[in-house]
Amino acid sequence: MAAIPKKVVERLAKGIKRFQPILTTSKTRDDGEGDTVMIVTDMLAEVFGYDKFSEVTAEFAIKSTYCDLAIKLDGDVRGLIEVKAVGTELKENHLKQAVDYAANQGVDWAVLTNGLRWRVYKVTFGKPIGQELVVDIDFCNLNSRSGDDLALLFLWCKEGWARSVLGEYQAQRQALSRFVLAATILSEPVVDTIRRELRRMSPDVKIRTEEIREALMNEVLKREVVEDDKAEEARKKLARASAKALRAIPPSGKATASESSGAGPTDEDESSLPS
């Protein structure tokens, strides 16, 4: 993650100390949504660094309805924020509301918050519209001296947009998701590499790649990471990346299929492996 400027670190630490007791007291009073919106607006300015007069828009109109808050930078809407009362538990229907606002506005980022909890979602414009939880912050459990906690807050700061830190963080999380890792492990190049290493360890045992893949799916990996809808999405993403890599090979430097995919030797090549 990008280094945080010193002045931003100081602002974030100061903001944590200032707003934690404010939020705790607000929850004790059981303040309503309107009061929570005011607290969140102040947090956007004092913690996250936005100018609340020019970069934060309240009651942002979207078609025939209104989103609580919108973040605008250089005239462009960067994110929409749906606010619930400080004592309200954030639920699935609240998330749908926030994502629908973002989808209708064509905005990539949606935030759902009650002041205490901040959840930042990346909106995916497919059929159907989807979302990915990228940041989940429990503000009153943050430590103003923790670099990791400050780094999480920095993702939603005004200064972070200039460095694209939120998008980079989301891309890294996606690349390291359990679904992508499982799809990678089950891919032909990796399974072939495993087979090659097993063959070196047990040269007298004939092991087929399909047997390895089945063992990984049934005995090593959790069922959800290979059968969930997200697992299928990860496999498709990996296939697209492999196809793109193949297309990038110049005509003068064509590789064989096994070289292009990183595949190891086939079962027929087993006898050529060093023992």
User: In degrees rounded to 5, what are phi and psi of residue 174?
Assistant: -65, -45
For 87-109, the pLDDT digits (tens) are: 999 999 999 999 999 999 999 99
What is the set of domains in the chain, with CATH numbers? 6-163 (3.90.1570), 178-270 (no CATH)
- For residues 154-175, give the mean pLDDT: 79
DSSP conformational letter for 267: G
Distance CA 227, CA 147 (A): 36
Q: Which residue type sits at 139?
A: F
Residue 61 phi/psi, 5° resolution?
A: -75, 130
> Averaged over 32-36, what is the pLDDT?
96
List helix spans (H) across 112-217.
147-154, 158-162, 165-175, 178-185, 188-201, 209-215
Burial of 270 (0-12, 13-18, 19+ CB in 10 A): middle
Cβ distance 191 to 212 under 8 Å? yes
Whether pLDDT at 51 is above 90: yes
* Mean pLDDT score, 108-128: 91
Predicted local distance difference test score (pLDDT) of residue 209? 84
Instruction: Report the percent of the chain where pLDDT is more than 90.
Output: 50
Q: Tell me: the pLDDT tens digits for 204-247?
A: 888 888 888 788 878 777 776 666 666 666 666 667 666 766 66
Range with lowest mean pLDDT among 46-50, 57-61, 208-212: 208-212
- Angstrom CA distances, 152 to 1, 61, 155, 207, 240, stand at 10, 29, 6, 46, 31
Longest C-alpha distance within the chain, in Å? 76
For tokens 């030797």, name the residue. 265
- pLDDT at position 193 over 90: no
The confidence score (pLDDT) of residue 225 equals 67
- Rounded CA gap, 51 and 77, in Å? 14
Question: Looking at residue 260, what is its pLDDT?
Answer: 45
Q: Please list, residue by residue across 81-90, b when 16 or more beta carbons sit within 10 angstroms of its beta carbon and e when fewer do.
A: bbbbbbbbeb
**pLDDT bracket for residue 170 (50, 70, 90):** low
**Entry pTM:** 0.67
- Around Cβ 153, how many Cβ atoms within 10 Å? 24
Give the model's pLDDT for residue 259.
45
Q: What would the two tokens of residue 168 be?
A: 């980079």
Q: What angle do the packed helices 147-154 and 6-29 form, to 10 degrees?
A: 90
In this prediction, residues 133-151 reach a mean pLDDT of 94
For position 231, what pLDDT does the model report? 62
pLDDT at residue 274 greater than cutoff 50: no
Query: By C-alpha distance, which of 101, 136, 104 is closest to 121?
Result: 136
